[in-house]
Structures are given as C-alpha cells and as structure tokens.
C-alpha cells in the first residue's frame, strides 16, 4: 500500500487497527470538516518519517489507545518528527481511561484525549478545535492523570478547578454571545463567524472579549473546550 501523504494541509491521520475507526465516521469527517482529508496510517515506516516542511505542521494524529499502549516508542518518534502536530489519544470507553494517559502526558507525547462515544456533533466540534491548534481533555479524565501534574498538560490541568465554577457562568452569556461561542467551538475563525451572523469582525471580537471575561478563562480556545464539555454533559431531550 502507498505510504501516508504528509503533504496535505489540515489532514487527519488515524494510527491504529483499521476496525477501531469506522468507515462511516471517516465519511462524516470528510463531509463535515473543511480540509478534513482522512488518512489511515497502514505502514509503521510512516511513523518514522520526518516532517519536511514547517508549513504543514497544522495536522492532527488520532492514535488508538491500544496502539498507544503497545507502541510507545513509535508514538514518541511521531512526536519528535512532527513537533507542531496535535497528537490525540482516542479512548473507546470514557468510563475506563487507560493508565497510560498519565504517563503519556508526563512525557509530553500527547496533549489531547478524545472519547469515541461522544455525541457526533460534539465529537466533530472537538476535532475542529484540535485542527485549529486547541487541545481537548474530558473533565472526567483529570482524576486519571495521577497525583503529579505534568508540565505538558499544565494549561488544561491548571484551569480544571476553575472549570467547575465556569459551568455555572454560562448563564451570564447573552444569546448572541452563546451563538458566537458555539461557532468558535466548531473551529470557525472570526471572519467566518461574522459572515454567518451578519456582523462585523470588530463586533465579533467584542463578543469574544466579553465571553472570555464572563467565563473567567484565558482565551477563546479554553472557552471552546469548556463549551464542548458542557454540551457533552447536558441532558438530552427524548421525544
């Protein structure tokens, strides 16, 4: 089989056994996410290829938890060769986080963890967030990180206590601010958000400033991550 083509901007690479990632989900990614070209890495040699051009640093590697546990040296090499890429561990059951999460975070190999059983809209939102440079870490994963707080996970972990309070602050957002935050969580940039809401970019920037202030977060990426977590934990209405 042909080796993975790393010369694709915005590409999403899956590392793991083929049956761990449904073909149907691959199709959803390519339909719903801009530049969401999906590539399955089928040859081990692809994990050891160096990144040749810095401009192709904006990519996402989704690594199955089974592969992560068995091939730590391969994941470490992937991190070394693609230092700017977002490496995310896919978890098949968020009620049973593997013990390797703590170890991988401590060594700076991964910065994101994504359960496979999220609602599809939230799952795609997390993918968009990571493609735009953000990191996703489920709130429930914190207790599996161990007592030592690794420096590589500091941005997510240092703000965890604050997130409990932040969940109650969403009620402070106006309807428009909530709409803006929703679009941010889907990975849209200010210009696109402005077009979608028929507003100026300046107005969008003001809304984002107010959102960050009201939620008590540091930046738009953190606000988006908390919004996705909030939506994931919100009860669904059944007909």
What is the reported pLDDT for 179?
A: 92
Q: Considering only residues 126 and 92, tell me which one the structure prediction assigns the higher pLDDT.
A: 126
Q: How many CB atoms lie within 10 A of CB 186?
A: 22
Q: What is the pLDDT of residues 121-144, one digit of tens each?
A: 888 888 988 888 888 887 666 555
Q: Considering only residues 133 and 152, tell me which one the structure prediction assigns the higher pLDDT.
A: 133
What is the reported pLDDT for 62?
A: 93
What is the reported pLDDT for 50?
A: 56
pLDDT at 72 over 70: yes
**Per-residue tokens: 131:** 């493609």
User: Mean per-residue pLDDT for 34-56?
Assistant: 66
Where would I find the H helices in 90-200?
100-106, 120-131, 154-158, 160-167, 175-185, 190-197
Task: Specify the range with the lowest mean pLDDT, choosing from 34-43, 125-134, 159-168.
Answer: 159-168
Task: Specify the range with the lowest mean pLDDT, choosing from 21-35, 113-127, 157-171, 219-233.
Answer: 157-171
Catalogue all structural domains in the chain, each as residue range(s) with its CATH number: 12-156 (3.40.50.2300), 160-233 (1.10.10.10)
pLDDT at 162 over 60: no
What is the reported pLDDT for 222?
A: 79
Phi, psi of 62 (to 5 degrees): -100, 115
Cα dihedral angle (189, 190, 196, 201), rounded to 10 degrees?
Answer: -160
What 3-state class would DSSP assign to 188?
coil
Q: Considering only residues 45 and 109, tell me which one the structure prediction assigns the higher pLDDT.
A: 109
pTM surpassing 0.75?
no
Q: What is the pLDDT of residues 180-193, one digit of tens each?
A: 998 988 888 899 99
Q: With cut-offs at 50, 70 and 90, classify the pLDDT of residue 148.
A: very low
Task: Report the share of the chain in percent with pLDDT over 90.
Answer: 12
Cβ-based neighbours of 183, under 8 Å, separated by 6 or more: 192, 193, 196, 197
Question: Can you list the pairs that 144-151 forms with residues at least 24 positions away whose Cβ atoms lie under 8 Å?
Answer: 144/97, 144/99, 144/101, 144/102, 145/101, 145/102, 145/105, 146/102, 146/106, 148/102, 148/106, 150/102, 150/105, 150/106, 150/107, 150/108, 151/108
What is the reported pLDDT for 176?
A: 93
């Amino acid at each position: 089989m042909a080796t993975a083509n790393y010369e694709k901007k915005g590409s999403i690479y899956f590392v793991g056994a083929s049956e761990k990632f449904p073909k149907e989900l691959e199709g959803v990614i390519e339909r719903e996410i801009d530049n969401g070209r999906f590539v399955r890495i089928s040859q081990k040699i692809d994990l050891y290829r160096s990144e040749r051009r810095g401009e192709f640093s904006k990519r996402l590697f989704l690594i199955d938890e089974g592969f992560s546990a068995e091939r730590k040296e391969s994941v470490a090499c992937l991190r070394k060769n693609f230092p700017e890429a977002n490496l995310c561990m896919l978890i098949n059951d968020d009620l049973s986080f593997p013990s390797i999460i703590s170890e991988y975070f401590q060594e700076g190999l991964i910065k994101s963890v994504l359960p496979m059983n999220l609602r599809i809209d939230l799952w795609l939102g997390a993918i968009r967030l990571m493609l735009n440079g953000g990191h996703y870490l489920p709130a429930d994963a914190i207790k599996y990180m161990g007592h030592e707080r690794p420096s590589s996970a500091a941005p997510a972990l240092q703000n965890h206590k604050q997130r409990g309070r932040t969940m109650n602050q969403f009620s402070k957002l106006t309807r428009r601010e909530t709409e803006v935050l929703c679009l941010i969580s889907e990975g849209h940039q200010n210009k696109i958000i402005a077009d979608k809401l028929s507003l100026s970019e300046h107005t969008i920037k003001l809304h984002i400033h107010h959102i960050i202030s009201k939620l008590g977060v540091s930046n738009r990426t953190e606000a988006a991550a908390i919004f996705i977590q909030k939506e994931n934990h919100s009860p669904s209405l059944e007909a």
